[in-house]
Amino acid sequence: MFPLPVHIYFEFAALLTSVIFWARIKSGKFRWFFPFLFLMLATELTGWYLRKENGFETNGYLFNFSVPTEYIFYAWLFARTYQTRSFRRIAIFFIYVFTVFCVAIYVLNGIYWFNSILLLVGNMSAIFFSCLYFYELLVADERINLIREPMFWIATGVLLFNLGEFLYSAFYKLLRQHGWDNGTKLFRAINNNLILVLYLCIIIGLLCVRTSRDYKATFAQ
């Protein structure tokens, strides 16, 4: 019935949401979701096509680039969101360090095979930055309606996705060395379902973005 895996439809839906609600998101940090989601969808589609045509091992290099981009994007997004200066600095510092780290890994291990260490570091950073964001939410001394807070949904998606993926990333090398997940059944079972959660949260987050005019209307009520 569906020629493509279900999670790709969710990614497409998220991209579509960013296009439909472009007028709302264009003036803030969320506008960068459009190129980000486009890149993610393009990578997933290409990866899926390569896998279908040539098998699992042939699309690793694609994710060697998309995974760091993804985590750098999340770190940047959190840096733009934090109210605490030190948190912002940590996120910015991570972006620089992680970029250098990625280049070093490419040089040492090459880019053809997927470098799971990048994913593992990315997972940990995303969990850490989400927690920092939730901490800020906890201590904030103003009324915040979480249901209508775009970053709450995005951070929720990012946290759940990375918590779910963390253990697989940690054992990735072992699984690959011994061929214990040939065909990536386990990986797909975990990752593809988590992608649904992540992109659903991103969609809700984008739907929650309000323009300054919306804010004015709310205050005028």
Partner 1 sequence: MREDIQGLQGDVRSIIILGTIVFLILGAFMISFIFLYRYRKNKMLLEKEQMKTSFQQELLRTQLEIQEQTLKNISQEIHDNIGQMLSLAKLNLATADVEKKELVTQKINASHHLVSKAIQDLRDLSRSLNSDYVSETGLLRCIEYELEMIRKTGLIKVDLTVTGQVYKINPQKELILFRIVQETLNNIIKHAGADLVAVFVSYEATLTLRISDNGRGFDSFQLNEHSKAKAGLGIRNMNNRAKLIGASFHINSAAGEGTEIAIQLPKDEINGIEKG
Residues that bind partner 1 in the complex, under the rule CB under 8 A: 134, 137-138, 141-146, 156, 159-160, 163-168, 171, 174-175, 178, 180-181, 186, 190
Q: Least distance from C-beta 20 to partner 1, angstroms? A: 27
Q: Least distance from C-beta 111 to partner 1, angstroms? A: 26
Closest to partner 1 by CB, 26 vs 173, is 173
Q: Least distance from C-beta 80 to partner 1, angstroms? A: 20
Please report the sign of the dihedral spanned by the C-alpha atoms of residue 138, residue 140, residue 146, residue 150. Answer: negative
Rounded CA-CA distance 21/221 in Å is: 23
Place of tokens 């040539």: 54
Closest to partner 1 by CB, 101 vs 171, is 171
Q: Least distance from C-beta 147 to partner 1, angstroms? A: 9
Rounded CA-CA distance 9/47 in Å is: 15
Rounded CA-CA distance 70/221 in Å is: 39
Q: Least distance from C-beta 91 to partner 1, angstroms? A: 19
CA angle 187, 191, 99 (to 5 degrees): 100
- Write the DSSP symbol of residue 113: S
Structure tokens at 207: 């739907």
Closest to partner 1 by CB, 111 vs 186, is 186
Closest to partner 1 by CB, 53 vs 221, is 221
Rounded CA-CA distance 201/157 in Å is: 5
Closest to partner 1 by CB, 21 vs 74, is 74
